[in-house]
Homo-oligomer: A and B are copies of this chain.
């Protein structure tokens, strides 16, 4: 025997480095050499830890999903009502902080990579559908009187809104600041409120 390494830790560190490079330099800047530099090692070590570049991307993608999933769990657990849980989950999925905006840039990068890579595309579809399922469950809990089809349609709408906000805020944070994202989500959630607003007046939830 000889020196043993902590494989899981190396994978975690390299995935984090992949993340960082992807957020800073974008998809074309994501090279093995850049990842190695960010992780403080060499390309040799990177390819001793991962079989190839795609394996590195796959684990980083899983890390992204795991991170957002954990945050969603926490948001969901801390809410009193189903509607509050839904709101918390959607808000944490948006990108109000700089950290989240970095995450959004990474997400866009993976989305673009998925368009050219079937493996990453499968991963993306799986993760996104799990998120849609989570939202659909919360919608159904908030409005048990709705038909499943209505809950599903609302869930896909909400997810599309949140991911659209993320994507647009990633490249234009001035047009899509955190406040605008919050407003957009609350406005969309208005449709789930048990009591509609008065006729002929702008929805007060839309105003500040």
Which residues of A approach B to under 8 Å, CB–CB? Answer: 25-29, 105, 108-109, 111-117, 121, 124-125, 128-129, 132, 143, 145-147, 149-150, 153-154, 156-157, 159-165, 167-168, 170-172, 174-176, 180, 183-184, 187-188, 190-191, 194-203, 206-208
Contact = CB atoms under 8 A, between A and B. Distances in A.
A183 B153 contact: yes
Given A128-B172, A150-B202, A25 B116 contact: yes
A142 B100 CA distance: 34
Nearest to A197: B196
Interface of chain A, main secondary structure: helix
Nearest to A162: B164
Nearest to A105: B115
A167 B111 contact: yes
A207 B171 contact: no
Contact of A163 (B26, B147, B168): B168
A200 B145 contact: yes
A177 to B, nearest CB: 10
A203 to B, nearest CB: 6
A109 B176 CA distance: 20
21 contacts: A27-B113, A27-B115, A114-B171, A115-B170, A129-B172, A129-B175, A132-B175, A143-B202, A145-B200, A149-B207, A150-B202, A150-B207, A153-B187, A156-B175, A156-B180, A160-B161, A160-B176, A161-B164, A161-B188, A163-B164, A195-B199
